[in-house]
Each structure stands twice: as C-alpha cells, then as structure tokens.
Amino acid sequence: MWRPLAPAGPGNQAPLRAVLARVRNLALKLGGRDPETEDLKALSDEEIMVRCAQDSEAAFRILVARYRPRIINLITRFVGDPDRAEDISQEVFIRVYRNRERYRKSGKFSTWIFTIAANLAKNEIRRKVRHRRVVSMDEEREPGTSIAATLADRDPGPGQALERKELEAMILDAVASLPERYPAGPHPQGSRGAGL
C-alpha cells in the first residue's frame, strides 16, 4: 500500500530510512548497484565502523565481508572445530553490532574485533574444559575389563611387600616347627628335610 512521505524532520527520520532501505533493496534486486556500498568500500575499517555506529547496514555488511573469513580462521585455530568456529564468529559480529556505538575511532578496528574473537574462543575452550565428559571407573572398556582394572597398579606397594614378607616368615616358622615325621617341601634358603 502506498503511503505519502512525511516532510523530513528530526522526528521523521525513521520512516525516511525505511524508504531508503526499501529503494536500495529494490535496486539491488533489479541488478543495480548500491551507491552507498560502493562509496563505503573505499573507506578504512575505522571509518566504516563509524558509519556502522550511525546505523548503516551497508557499512556493517562490508565489515562482515572483510573480516568473516579471518575471524573464522582465527577461532578455528583456537577451538579446532570449523562448525563451532562458524557459530562463534556469528557471535563476534553480533557483539560488534550491539557495541557499535561504544567503538572509538582512536584504536584500530581490526585489533578490537580480533580481541572480541579471541576472548569468545577462549571462553569456548573454558566451557569445553568445564563440561568434559565424566568417565566412570566402572565403565567397561574391553569385554571383561573395567577402567579400574586397566588403571590398577600391578606392582605391590611397600605395605603389600611388607605384609608378604611377614606372611612368608610366619609360614617358614610354622613349617620349621613341624615334627620330623612330616616331609618338608622346598625351602627358600635351600633344601630341608626329605623333599630335596
């Protein structure tokens, strides 16, 4: 439905922006070029971000086109998962857009956006560490073998070695105290009795 345009003024800028956006979109659909986008491509990242802070969608699209592949690459190197890196990169651009008015032209835009990306990637790594899968000690690893059996120390500890020596000494004493009519088996210190 056609609506007449209200005269331009401070309170009527929103409808005018909407009309200009529709005209731009229509021109792009018809194969035309968006003059605003063409003009913005020649600007520095910092100047484009200033335009983005002034609610220029074209400026934001240019920043996304310029930085998206590099942001995804950086995040992929941090997290090692290209699909997750894609999701995190979208979060980076959402944060850039939400904080566009806070950006100060005094710093480099690339430093600002890569800092956001690195911080989100580090947060992802922390999240992964906190939510690692818990492994049950009773979970079967191989048929008939639990992880507890796999990890068990096969060497006797000092306490077990001492108990074994004490038990061995008690057995030897008991065998030594047997009457001579019972044949003795092999003895660790040599042969005793009728066996050997």
Any idea what the CATH number is for the domain that residue 74 is in? 1.10.1740.10
> CA 123, 71, 45 angle in degrees (round to 5)?
120
When divided into structural domains, the chain yields a total of 1
- 138 pLDDT more than 50: yes
Cα–Cα distance between 190 and 183 in angstroms, integer? Answer: 15
Say how many C-beta atoms besides its own lie within 10 A of residue 118's C-beta: 15
Residue 69 falls within a domain, yes or no?
yes
Grade residue 11 by pLDDT with cuts at 50, 70 and 90: low
- Quote the domain boundaries for residue 76: 43-128
pTM for the structure as a whole: 0.51
Runs of H (alpha helix) within the chain: 13-29, 35-40, 45-53, 57-79, 82-98, 109-130, 147-151, 158-176
Residue 162 falls within a domain, yes or no?
no
Residue 102 falls within a domain, yes or no?
yes
Residue 145 falls within a domain, yes or no?
no
Residues facing 140 on adjacent strands: 146
Region of residue 144 (left: phi > 0; alpha: psi -120 to 50; beta: else): left
Among candidates 98, 76, 100, which has minimal Cα distance to 86? 76
Residue-wise pLDDT tens digits, 89-136: 999 999 999 998 888 878 889 999 999 999 999 999 998 888 776 656
Residue 89 falls within a domain, yes or no?
yes
